[in-house]
Structure 1
């Protein structure tokens, strides 16, 4: 059985690196994050973009598959796509 996890993009990278590495160490097949502009319960906290978060996670891990649960294209300009 393959298990996956969700990691919210709420960690500054100095902490986030360890979170993503730990998911890999625990043997998860994949780790996903959200591509939302914010989350109701984290409105006053940092919330980072999914693409930069996953890019950093790819550099910090070796085997775990990475992805978004849903990717929202509406809030992005075509110039940055």
Structure 2
């Protein structure tokens, strides 16, 4: 069975990197983060960007798959002339 987890981007990287490493050490297959601009009770505190967070997480993990829970990429569709 593959287990995944969600890691909210609420910690400065000095603390956050430990959370991402811990998820990998615990054997999680994938760790996700939200790409919202804020989230409910966290709206008055720090909330860091998704892409920089995932980029940083990739530098401190080796096996953990990374992703977002909300972002959906719109496929490219050229305008027909």
TM-score, normalised to structure 2, is 0.86
**Unpaired stretches in structure 1, ≥5 consecutive residues:** 74-81
Question: Which deviates further from its counterpart, 24-33 or 39-48?
Answer: 39-48
The reply to whether residue 52 of structure 1 matches residue 48 of structure 2 is no
Number of residue equivalences: 73
- Deviating above 3 A after TM superposition, structure 1's stretches of 4 or more consecutive aligned residues are none
Give 1:1-81 correspondences, 5 Å limit. 1-71=1-71
Contact 1:36–1:72 under 8 Å retained in 2: no
Distance 1:63 1:36 in 2: 25
Measured at CA, do residues 39 and 5 of structure 1 come closer, stay the same or move farther in structure 2, by a change above 3 Å? Answer: same
- In angstroms, what is the RMSD of aligned CA positions? 1.2
> Which of the two has higher C-alpha Rg?
2
> Scaled by the length of structure 1, what TM-score is found?
0.86
Deviations 1:9-54 (A, max 9, x none): 1010000000000000000000000000001201111000110000
Q: Which runs of 5+ in 2 are unaligned?
A: 74-81
